[in-house]
Amino acid sequence: MYTIEEIDGEERANEISRFNSLAPETFPLLKPNHLTDGHWWLVYHNEIQEPVAFAGLVEMQPFHRVGYFKRCYVMPDHVGHGLQLRLMFVREVKARELGYTQIVSECSPDSHSNHNFRRAGFEMVCPEQIWGKPGSIYWGKML
């Protein structure tokens, strides 16, 4: 019913930016290097051939070989089909291919993402230097 496609962030910058803008309270604007240096995925609903979700993976700066889950958004009509969890798994596979030793991310305390991070084998962590919004929950997974 759904197909996940890894895409070129620079070539598909308009689509990624459009998805990113659907949650402006959650997602700040992307910087150009996120698109050129990152890895991006779109999820297509097979019946309508339109993207219904997106996600990214970038290297966590300034840490070498640490991947950062840089966004994930699923259109409301497609929530509940396991797309976020599937996007976590494809990004983890890519992180391993890139030689990352760990992946990290954060989300708000009331986000359903917290459940999916647990299901994907992440553990809550307390970073020395926080980077998210106040109250964020931080997640990490050793690879």
Rounded distance, CA 24 to CA 93, Å?
28
Residue given tokens 């459009």 in the structure block:
18
pLDDT digits (tens, 9 = 90+) for 53-71: 999 999 998 888 999 999 9
Rounded distance, CA 37 to CA 42, Å?
17
Closest by CA position to 23, among listed 70, 59, 60, 74: 74
What per-residue confidence (pLDDT) applies to 47?
84
Copy the structure tokens of residue 130: 């926080």
pLDDT > 90? residue 93: yes
Q: What percent of the chain has pLDDT over 70?
A: 100
